[in-house]
Structure 1
Amino acid sequence: MASLAFSFTFSIFFFFAIASAQLSSTFYSSSCPNALSTIQTAVKAAVANEKRMGASLLRLHFHDCFVNGCDGSILLDDTSSFTGEKTALPNANSVRGFDVVDTIKSKVEAVCPKVVSCADILAVAARDSVVALGGPSWTVQLGRRDSTTASLSTANSDIPPPTSSLSALISAFSNKGLNTNEMVALSGSHTIGQARCTSFRARIYNETNINTSFATSLKSNCPSTGGDNNLAPLDTLTATVFDNNYYKNLVGNKGLLHSDQQLYNGGSTDSQVTSYSTSSSTFFSDFASAMVKMGSISPLTGSSGEIRTNCRKTN
């Protein structure tokens, strides 16, 4: 009987231990009921001030989750004990919006001190940015905690570069628990934002699976040498609207990055790109689902990590 009681008690404990490690859409409903509205208001203001910021905030969440999970590590500045992720090749002179995250964090701290994690702020800000630019909404799962360290080496190795082949993209996403369909849907985030000349120069000068007039139009702003930081929109049609034009561009061989056009280049993902190019509702639905899944990559929960009061440094 005693062993039965112990077994029952252990089972209950085990159940709650698992439950406490799960993310929940109502995580802050009691501890900080105004958290989501506070973040939304700040994101709307930032995107209204500069529409490109919506893409930047969305990208921060991506680049955070692909390095040891969605733990806010990308926000950490370098310290004497570790080098942060901001200077990693995929992030240096490219990832931005840290000042906006600081502003959001300060507003949330004013409402609920030491309650809402920076990792959760990134997840919510990504959703609110997409919505602010006309894209779909989704229910963000919450309860992530912040890491106390970062990994420059993992940022360099795990975030897929713009030179990636289709097989490399599939592998990089698979390593994070995301399947090929989810990879193609998440790539649709490139329907907003801009890329630097250094990221697409080789494509517009050397590749043949590119619309000739499209390539020519880009060369004036991206010379064969110099102008590395000159920008071009990832979606040449509607650079600041979250829609399905990214996929229409791919069908017309107008993908800006090599990795973009790989999704429509006679391979296994062509049919999915075609589907999204003709149905924004299908893309929106799949993108929203994939964002929820990506946001659940290896979160720190329970007593792991901490709730940073300043997103740039540990407590």
Structure 2
Amino acid sequence: MTFTVRDFRPADAKAVADLRRAVVPYRLATPQGIAWEVSTAPAAQCLRLFVAELDGRVVGAVQASVLHDADVPGQAAATPEVRPGHRGRGVGHALLMAAEEHLVAAGAERLFAWAVDEPGVPAFAERHGYRRTRRARYLRLDLTAAALPPLPAALPSGVRLHTGADFEADPHPLYAADAEVTADEPGDVTCDAMAYDDWLLHTWEHPHIDLDLTSVVTVDGEIAAFALAATDGRARYSSAMTGTRRAFRGRGLARLAKTASLRRARDAGCTEAFTHNDADNVPMLAVNHAFGYRPFAGAWRYVREAARD
């Protein structure tokens, strides 16, 4: 078997989306989203998407990028994805080598990767010198059967419920809320350095983000909590971020935002919802479990120090 590793071309977008849906079905993947991420990547991200091609078919891919919004420079990430029928033949190794070479040349000092908790995948990471750090849990909710909680008949004084579309004229307050919540998420990398212009382009304007399904809770006019919603246009919904600002925690506002978002998603025709949480994020795991989300897949975060000459 002879395969070729090369850079992504726009014509590969559908093939890469099909690959991702087959390998990591809990992640949204569309040709539009993949093409958008590659074409709009900021220079500081040094993003390259490599594909492995065999007989004219894409059988693997890896997206290599510097974590340019991390508070500590020199960190990067790359996770090879290979179709199950083509594993164990060197495709993943070749993709990872191409990604690592690119990232080290871009100045990366620490390399992160995800390993799906399936037979052989963690062992692949460990054979390549990566060590296990954190666990993530991917959850699924069947929206066709879920007993979603009702919205309250009346909101507390000063509390209002909005959609993301209500902030189209000035999304900066939602950017500030997202940045605060993201900085408090448990994980190996703290990402709190994304500039507003980058957030606008790569979060707010991302083809997967659905502003009508996004919910925002304000208290006395100030954003307190939100549930950022994404869809693939194929009846699949994903939580892009749900959280509450520090000053408003402990009042059930994130639950309120997510309730409104999920109910609108079901009314819009979405049939299944996915989310993921760090295994140490016990409060959010509890919220999702109460909605009816159940374990779908697990993955381990791996890291290694970059080898240099």
Same fold (TM over 0.5): no
Give TM-score scaled by structure 1 length.
0.25
Normalized per residue, which structure has more helix? 1
Bigger-Rg structure (1/2): 1
